Amino acid sequence: MIKINLLRGEKKKKSVSIDLSALKTVKIQDLFKIGSLYYAGGFLWLVTLLILGYYFKLNQEKKELSLKLEELNMERLKLQAQAKRFSEEKKLLEGEIERLKAQIQDIDRGKDIILGLKSYHYPFNKSLDAYIMSLPRVSWISNYKQSLDISTQTVKSELVINTFDYQSLGVYGRLIKATSQKIAISPVERKTTPSGFEYYTAKLSIEKPIQEGR
């Protein structure tokens, strides 16, 4: 439940008003008339009481002010400690910001490298596809190695091809040779499987620029 009372706002502004006109005025001459001694006595008592009252009021105010001063001193100390803490925190944060900036720079550099590598990704994989797609039907690759030399922008591939068909191995060699000038085919060897079948094996070493395509 929301509790609003507009009369509260009014009380804050209340002040005490004293009607001074209600006070009786006393002429000095009257004090010297008969019976004026009573007035004088009363007046002296009144003055004494007023002085006492004023003394107590001042004393009270003094106490309040010294308390307030103490509180303010405490507050000052607290604020100084807080300011010190904040400046330390500021230094820490500045250090952290520097560290993060360096980290961001590293990440940016890494990003550039990744973007550069990404441009090689497609032609690199494409050359792998090219060699495998054109393999003779009855053949298999027992070893395939492909590497990229970024400084010379060339892809080096090495294949060990095995087949039962000697002729098709020759045809494949010629086909691949057409894609690059730098191709080397090792002499065809005849080997026997553990189960006694004969097959032919040859090693192809190919080198071609990465941006050349297939």
Partner 1 sequence: MLQSLRGILWEKGFRRPSLKLPYLSLRNISRKSIIGLHLTNSRIRILGLKGDKTLLFEPVEVTFKNDRAKVLKELVDRYKLRGYDVIASLSVNEGLMKFYTYPSALSKKDLENAIEWAIKRELVTLKEEAYYDYHIIDSLGDPRKLGVIAVIARKETVESVKKTIQDAGLNLKILDYEVLAIINYGLYNKLPLPFSILHVDYDYSILVSYSQSSINYYVGQWSLAEYLETKNEESFDSFISEILNLVVLNNITSLYIAGPVLLYEDVTTRIMENVPIFGLLDLESIPSNFFIAHSLCIRGLEG
Q: Is 14 a residue that touches partner 1 (CB under 8 A)?
A: no
DSSP alpha helices (H): ranges in the chain? 6-12, 36-133, 166-179
Report the residue from 18, 28, 35, 176 that binds partner 1 according to the rule CB under 8 A: 35
Q: Compute CA distances 130 → 90, 104, 157, 166, 181, whole Å.
A: 60, 39, 11, 21, 16
Of 40 and 150, CB closest to partner 1: 40
Q: Is 7 a residue that touches partner 1 (CB under 8 A)?
A: yes
Q: Is 6 a residue that touches partner 1 (CB under 8 A)?
A: yes
Of 2 and 178, CB closest to partner 1: 2
| Distance of closest approach, residue 146 Cβ to partner 1, in angstroms | 57
Query: β-strand 139-149 against 189-192: which pairing, if any?
Result: unpaired
Of 19 and 137, CB closest to partner 1: 19
Q: Is 27 a residue that touches partner 1 (CB under 8 A)?
A: no
Evaluated on CA atoms 166, 171, 177, 179, the torsion sign reads negative
Which amino acid appears at position 78 of this protein? K
List the x/- string, 146-165, binding to partner 1 by CB under 8 A: --------------------
Q: Is 32 a residue that touches partner 1 (CB under 8 A)?
A: no
Q: Which stretch binds partner 1 (CB under 8 A): 2-10, 15-23, 56-64, 97-105?
A: 2-10
Q: How many CA atoms lie within 13 A of 114 on its CB side?
A: 6
Block residue for tokens 């590293």: 106
Number of residues that bind partner 1 (CB under 8 A): 13
Burial string for 141-178 (b: 16+ CB within 10 Å, else e) reads: eeeeeeebeeeeebbbbebebbbeeeebbbebbeebee
Q: Is 29 a residue that touches partner 1 (CB under 8 A)?
A: no
Q: Determine the Cα–Cα distance for residues 194 and 24; give it in Å rounded to an integer.
A: 138
Of 8 and 137, CB closest to partner 1: 8
Q: Determine the Cα–Cα distance for residues 87 and 95; give it in Å rounded to an integer.
A: 12
| Distance of closest approach, residue 51 Cβ to partner 1, in angstroms | 21
The token duo for 43 is 């007046």
Q: Is 16 a residue that touches partner 1 (CB under 8 A)?
A: no
Q: Which stretch binds partner 1 (CB under 8 A): 5-13, 104-112, 115-123, 126-134?
A: 5-13
Residues contributing to the site for partner 1 (CB under 8 A): 1-10, 13, 35, 38
